[in-house]
Amino acid sequence: MIPILPTTRHELGLLYRARPAMAGLLLAGTAAQRWPLNGSPVRKVPGIGWVTADPVVARTVLRDHRSFTILGEGGVGNLWAQILGDWVLDLFDGAGHHDLRSRTRELFTEAVSRELVSAAWDERVAVAGEALRSGGTLDVAHLARILVGRMVISLLGVPRPAGHGGSWPDDEGALRIFETGERLATVALGTAGSTILTPAQVATARGIAAELNAGIPDGWRNAPPDTLLGRCRELGLGLTETSGLASLLMVAGTETAASAMARITALLVDTGEQHRMLASLRAGTEALRAGTEAGAAVVALGAAVDDERAARLLNPGEADPVENVVREGLRVTSPASVIGRGVAADVEVGGAALRAGERIMLLVWSANAAAGPFRADRPYVRESRQLWFGAGRHLCLGAALARAEIGTLLRMLWSEDRPLRIVRRRAARGVLIPAWSELVVTR
């Protein structure tokens, strides 16, 4: 029997408190998936344009680069071209984007992503883990924002503020950077009807982007080769391309990553699936003690051991319980709940005739939710694949980094083989990405 609700009541509450109208549209998309009417899975909604919650249609749209564009009305490239400049038109789509992706494919491999997370987070994650081990509480939502802020500082080479004493980055600086990214993201609020910004919105967003990217020129010139900016330089990326890549990461990887970390933590507790994950981790530990190769691989990955041979023993998300939870958690939460595209040429998709100049909204959250509620050991879902990261040439460049970030947090939270309980929680209101503003846990 198919459950009536696609996810937990807490998750539904997050969607509603973030954007009530969008929550209604996403739930309608889920209902359309479960109880389809006769006709096309692509519908036209007044004031929005074409809409679909079908995962196969969504992937078709995202992979059809001739008929659909990220740069037209409805696409995020159209939004950011107004903010960052016309060079976006060259780098965000078409031949320029293909060239950029080809030259940056080594920036965020699984191994590099683990190294980036370790370098930026190890010390702070250890402090958080000690707080739990000593019997205290931990605000996972607050910690997630700090960690993502630290990652942004590391990736973009954000310089130490003038007159700042002590270590850098610190929690206060990381939160300030994260909040700056949040301010940039709020520009996209209210663009469900159109991605054309007002002059005031453009001016505000440009000021925020300039603030975030202030350290990139110096970092691009002088950063060592083992840093992101240094790698960009060594790969032959110019300053404009590097700035564009950094802006992409800033826009796509801050609120979404922090949201996913706290929401997946809450899902594990609320559904009781933390017990299934812990049992699987325990089984892997016992298998290792028995000397089996599979158990050795599970525990090596679970402890984030940097051993490429061990990593190759498992396919991502298949046998490592934490990786499986990361994948399943991203499916259920789908932080980037909607993806927009402009229609570049007349095309028929899903039985509907779309015309050039129109727009289509892909209800990613609805498409992913159709597979069922959160389950820690759910097998790979072929229909949705990894739609939460997009598809085609615009598949999220930082997907491996996001998985490494979430996995690192989950391993710390459940490192003692003991379940967590939620002490207190509070949902964020009126935000682009549904999120917990507070999620306090303890063991």
- Cα separation, 22 vs 18, in Å, equals 8
Q: How many CB atoms lie within 10 A of CB 312?
A: 9
Which H or E element spans position 42? strand 42-45
Percent of the chain whose predicted confidence (pLDDT) is above 70: 88
- Winning range, highest mean pLDDT, from 12-26, 36-50, 294-308, 309-323: 12-26
For residue 296, pLDDT beyond 90 = no
* Residue 1: per-residue pLDDT: 43
* Residue 142: per-residue pLDDT: 98
Q: What value does the mean pLDDT take over residues 116-133?
A: 96
Q: Are 191 and 80 in contact (CB under 8 A)?
A: no
What is the residue whose two structure tokens read 């759910």?
Answer: 378
For residue 312, pLDDT beyond 60 = no
How does the average pLDDT of the chain come out, rounded?
86
* Residue 156: per-residue pLDDT: 80
Which H or E element spans position 127? helix 110-133
Percent of the chain whose predicted confidence (pLDDT) is above 90: 51
Paired strand residues for 436? 427
- Cα separation, 383 vs 389, in Å, equals 14
Q: What value does the mean pLDDT take over residues 55-69?
A: 94
In this structure, of 111-115, 143-147, 298-302, the range with the lowest mean pLDDT score is 298-302
Under the banding of pLDDT at 50, 70 and 90, the label for residue 317 is very low
* Residue 243: per-residue pLDDT: 80
* Residue 308: per-residue pLDDT: 37
* Residue 297: per-residue pLDDT: 53
For residue 381, pLDDT beyond 80 = yes
